[in-house]
């Protein structure tokens, strides 16, 4: 199990070249191409880095909705060419070959609006792992067409992670890019101010134009009130309904066992394979943080026994996920460690 550093290096290079790149043609908001999503329970986004594994298969669905994308036709937002409407709330963007810029907001009842003189940059194209973009933005806050305050802030967009994501229904997407957006702004009123910190995570894949999953956490504070925290989450309906190989299906296609389970000092993986080759093995905690691997041992046709005792020795008690990948198939299983 030990002399595999060169093999790991080879596989790491392959993974780098297969990472997705966000482009205008494949990932920009597109008029007439709507975005069906499902509100769901909020979970933590997990760690940043390379070759991560995020298991969000247990997200609980709350309500389906659709983001409607159309040409912007509003004189108050003359620099916007695209409108996104969700639940009657309208967002105005300028979509170009170089990126997406946010120019304004209009509430469902039309009474509240924000018009940006300098827009917030939502994304730059092309955009790949470890790239980042920063921007400053400012504008005016209106209620019933009366100017009540001004807004100013800054933002950063950072492609902070890539790996494999599992969505509800066991749908697995490899080579998925995670984009972290941080937005910090203050609304200055005549006699008060309100500060907002917003952190958004979006997972993108080359198979879908719009994010596979979105997690948003917003912290709002003012001088005389305790901060309030709001959390939202939604996953892509089209992605879940796609005919991508699911974890349940691949568990049947990759026949493997773990013993003993729970594990203590010794831990083995038994794998039946129809032919020889290599298998990628990684172990993560429940947040998706990779603790072991990727390992890439050779396997033979027939029964294989792989000793993972040394790899598990520094890991503390708890519940973990082991992930196997071979010949384009992915399988995962939970196991536990007791000391």
The pLDDT mean for the chain works out to: 86
Both tokens assigned to 202: 């979006």
Q: pTM score > 0.85 for this model?
A: no
Distance CA 202, CA 35 (A): 14
Q: What is the pLDDT of residues 63-122, one digit of tens each?
A: 999 999 999 989 999 999 999 999 999 999 999 999 999 999 999 999 999 999 999 999
Whose tokens are 């920063």? That residue is 134
CATH number at 245-337: 2.60.40.1930
Both tokens assigned to 75: 């004189």
- Structural domain spans, the chain: 21-241, 245-337
Question: pLDDT at position 252, please?
Answer: 41
Angle at 194 between CA 202 and CA 102, to 5 degrees: 40
C-alpha distance from residue 164 to each of 120, 264, 285, 290, 331 (Å): 29, 28, 14, 12, 12
pLDDT per residue of the chain (339 residues) written in tens, 0 to 9: 333 333 333 333 333 335 689 999 999 999 999 999 999 999 999 999 998 989 898 899 999 999 999 999 899 999 999 999 999 999 999 999 999 999 999 999 999 999 999 999 999 999 999 999 999 999 999 999 999 999 999 999 999 999 989 898 878 888 899 999 999 999 999 889 999 999 999 999 988 899 999 999 999 998 878 889 999 999 999 888 764 444 444 444 567 889 998 888 899 999 888 778 888 888 887 666 778 877 888 888 888 999 999 999 899 888 888 888 777 677 778 888 887
C-alpha distance from residue 222 to each of 109, 114, 187, 227, 228 (Å): 25, 19, 10, 7, 10
Question: pLDDT at position 328, please?
Answer: 64
List the one residue out of 319, 221, 303, 309 whose CA is nearest residue 265.
Answer: 309
Question: pLDDT at position 189, please?
Answer: 92
Question: pLDDT at position 186, please?
Answer: 96
Both tokens assigned to 176: 């998925």
Both tokens assigned to 228: 């309030």
Question: pLDDT at position 245, please?
Answer: 42
């Amino acid at each position: 199990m030990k002399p595999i550093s060169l093999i790991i290096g080879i596989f790491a290079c392959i993974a780098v070249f297969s990472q997705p790149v966000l482009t205008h043609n494949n990932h920009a908001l597109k008029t007439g191409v709507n975005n069906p999503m499902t509100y769901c329970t909020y979970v933590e986004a997990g760690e940043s880095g390379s070759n991560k594994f995020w298991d969000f298969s247990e997200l609980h669905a709350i309500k389906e909705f659709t983001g409607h994308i159309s040409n912007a036709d509003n004189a108050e937002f003359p620099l916007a060419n695209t409108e996104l409407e969700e639940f009657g709330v309208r967002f105005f963007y300028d979509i170009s070959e170089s990126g997406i810029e946010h120019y304004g907001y209009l509430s469902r009842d039309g009474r509240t609006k924000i018009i940006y003189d300098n827009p917030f940059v939502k994304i730059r194209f092309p955009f790949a792992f470890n790239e980042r973009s920063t921007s400053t933005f400012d504008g005016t806050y209106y209620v019933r067409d009366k100017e009540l305050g001004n807004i100013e802030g800054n933002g950063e967009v950072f492609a902070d992670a890539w790996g494999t994501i599992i969505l509800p229904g066991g749908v697995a997407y490899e080579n998925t890019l995670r984009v972290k957006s941080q937005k910090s702004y203050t609304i200055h009123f005549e006699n008060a101010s309100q500060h907002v910190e917003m952190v958004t995570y979006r997972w993108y894949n080359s198979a879908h134009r719009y994010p596979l999953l979105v997690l948003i956490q917003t912290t709002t504070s003012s001088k005389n009130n305790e901060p309030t925290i709001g959390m939202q989450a939604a996953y892509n309906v089209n992605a879940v309904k796609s005919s991508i190989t699911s974890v349940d299906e691949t568990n049947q296609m990759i026949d493997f066992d773990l013993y003993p389970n729970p594990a203590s000092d010794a831990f083995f993986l038994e794998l039946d394979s129809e032919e020889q080759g290599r298998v990628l093995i990684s172990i993560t905690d429940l947040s998706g943080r990779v603790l072991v691997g990727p390992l890439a041992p050779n396997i033979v046709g027939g029964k294989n026994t792989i000793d993972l005792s040394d790899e598990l020795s520094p890991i503390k008690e708890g519940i973990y996920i082991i992930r196997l990948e071979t010949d384009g198939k992915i399988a995962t299983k939970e196991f536990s460690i007791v000391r």
